[in-house]
Amino acid sequence: MQHSCARPLDVDDAVALVAVLATLEGLLASRGLPDREVDLLRRSLEQGGGVLPGADLDELATALSALNERLRGTIG
C-alpha cells in the first residue's frame, strides 16, 4: 500500500521521527519494553500493514528498521 502525501513532512519532523523509530527499535532489540507496550506496538504495525499478525520481536524490529529507512530516504 503506497500512497503519496498531499502535505510533505517537514525535514525537522522527519529527523525527529527517525530518532523515535531508532529508539523503539533499540528498545525492542534489548528487550527493554514491557510486554504490554510490545503488544501495542505490534497492533499498530499490524494495522498499518507493517507486519503480519502475531509478529515476533525480531519481525517488529525489522519492520521498524524498514520504516525508518524509508523515512530517512525522504530526507534526502
Residue 11 CB contacts under 8 Å (≥ 6 apart), including other chains:
75
Global model pTM greater than 0.95: no
pLDDT tens per residue, range 36-47: 999 999 999 999
Domain ranges across the chain: 11-71
pLDDT tens per residue, range 6-25: 778 899 999 999 999 999 99
Cα–Cα dist 12/18, whole Å = 10
